[in-house]
Amino acid sequence: MKLSVKNIRNFTDTNYNMLNKILLAAGIIQCCFCNIQAQSAGARPVYTSEWGHLYRENGKNKDVLGIFSTEAPVYLLDSTQTQYKVQVSNGDIGFIDRQPLQKSMRGKKSAGEPLQYFYRGKEGYQCPHFYVQGSELRVRKGPTTESTATRKAALNELICIDYVPLYQDGWVYIGDHFHEDPEYIQMKYLGTELTYDQILKDYLAAKGKNKEKELTQVGRLREIAWLEDKNLKQALRYWKESYSGIENPKVDIDFELLLADQLAKKPQTEIYEKKLKGLNMHFTWKETQLFDGKITETQVKQLEMQKVKDIPNTPECGWEPQYFYRTPDIIVAFEEYKGKVSGSIYKMSFNNEGAVILGNERMDSHYNEKDFVTRFGDLLSTRWIASPHEYYIQNGDAGVFIFTFKEGKLFSYECMFYC
C-alpha cells in the first residue's frame, strides 16, 4: 500500500495496525501508544493544513492542551474516524480534528488563524513568532527546568513557534526543525517586541516603589541597551543605582561602565585604520613569529602542522583559501595571488604555545579581559550579553578579527570576512 496524504486521511478505526506499520516503515514514528517526551533526532514529521486545537482526550469531551498553527509539524501516532492522535513539536501528545496532512511545508496560513497566538509580522507572511521578554533567559535541552541549559536567549530575540501550550508553565520548542539540536523555553517568557523607551517607562514607574519589579525592569533595561548599542551609560547607571547594597555575582557593573566609556571613544575610520596598522598585529607559535599575508608553507611545515583539504563550516565570502594547515589549536589558511602563495591565521585557541601581539601587549591564555578593554576598547565592538564574551576589531571594509574571552581570560582568536 502506497503511503500518501490521501491514504492517511481515509484511515478508519479498523486501520490502526496498517497505519502503524506504514508509519514505522516510513520513519515518521518509532512506536505507537507511547508517551514520547521529544521527537527522535532527524525524524521527519507531516504538516497540518489548518490551524486548530490539541485535545487531551479523543471524542467529544475536548479538554484543550494547546493550539497549533497552520503547517505545524506533527508526528502521527494513531487515527480515528474523526481525529488523529499526534505528537506536536514540544512533546505534547493529544488529538487533533482530522484534516489534510501534508508531506511538505509551503509557507501558508489557513483562514482564521488567531493572531494572538500566531503573529506573523506586519506584512503577515513571516513565520508565527513572538519575542523573548525575559532578561538572560536560559534555553534548555528538554522541556523541564531540570534539563541542561544550552545557552541564554537574548532579550527581544525573535522566536518562531508552531504550537502554543495553553496550560500553566507550558514549554515551546525553538530548536532546529528535525530536533537534532533541541531547545525549549517556557511560553510565559514570550510576548510582543520590547523597546528601550517602553522598558525605561516601566522601570521608572517601579523604581523606589516595588523592588522586585524595579530589579526585573532594570535587568531588561541593561540588556536591551547592550543589544541596541545606545542609551548604554544611562541604563548601566540605573542598574548600579537599583542594585546598590545588593550583591549580584553575575554582573560586574564597574567593568561594564568602563567598557561603555571605551566603546564611546571609537575614532573616525581613517584614524581607526591608522591606529590598528600601527599596532602591527602578529602571532607567535612555538616562538616563531607569524605575520598575516607573509606566512609561508616552509614555516608551517617546520612547525609540524598537518595539511588538510578544507575546514568544515568555513564561509564562502569571496575570499576562499585553496587549502589549510592545522594543529588541534591553530588553523592557517592559504591562498594564491599572482603566483604567490601566502597564509593567514584563520583560528587560534590559546595555550602555552600561542600568543597574539598587539602593539606592546603580548596576549596569551593568561591575558586578562579588563586589560584588553582598557588598552584596546576604542577599537572594539561587542555583543556583551552573549556568553562567552566576544570582541570585534574591524579589518578593512569586509573583515573582522574576533577575540573571545572565557572567565576573564583570552580563549580564542578568529578572522572572518563578511558574506
- Segment 35-68, tens digit of pLDDT: 445 677 888 999 999 999 999 999 877 899 999 9
Give the residue-averaged pLDDT of 221-225.
Answer: 94
**Residue 83 near residue 96, CB atoms below 8 Å:** yes
Between 130 and 415, residue with greater pLDDT: 130
Between 301 and 237, residue with greater pLDDT: 237
**Grid cell in block for residue 91:** 512533546
Half-sphere exposure of 257 (CA within 13 A, CB side): 11
- Segment 232-253, tens digit of pLDDT: 999 999 999 999 999 998 899 9
Q: Among residues of the chain, what percentage have pLDDT more than 90? A: 66
The residue type of 404 is T
Q: What is the pLDDT of residue 14?
A: 36
- Segment 96-138, tens digit of pLDDT: 999 999 999 888 899 999 999 999 998 888 999 999 998 889 9
What single string gives the DSSP state of each residue in 12-79?
A: -GGGHHHHHHHHHHHTS-S-SS---SSPPTT---EEESS-EEEESSSSS---EEEEE-TT-EEEEEEE
DSSP 243: T
- Segment 253-286, tens digit of pLDDT: 999 999 999 999 999 999 999 999 999 999 999 8
33, pLDDT greater than 70: no
CA distances from 203 to 246, 344, 395 (A): 17, 48, 39
For the whole model, what pTM was predicted?
A: 0.72
Picking from 235, 161, 254, the residue whose alpha carbon sits closest to that of residue 195 is 235
The residue type of 209 is K
Q: What is the pLDDT of residue 61?
A: 76
Q: What is the pLDDT of residue 24?
A: 36
Distance CA 400, CA 414 (A): 8
Picking from 165, 166, 13, 182, the residue whose alpha carbon sits closest to that of residue 85 is 13
Element (H, E) at 331: strand 330-337
Strands (E), 104-166: 129-132, 137-140, 149-153, 158-160, 163-165
Angle (CA) 118 95 79, round 5°: 130
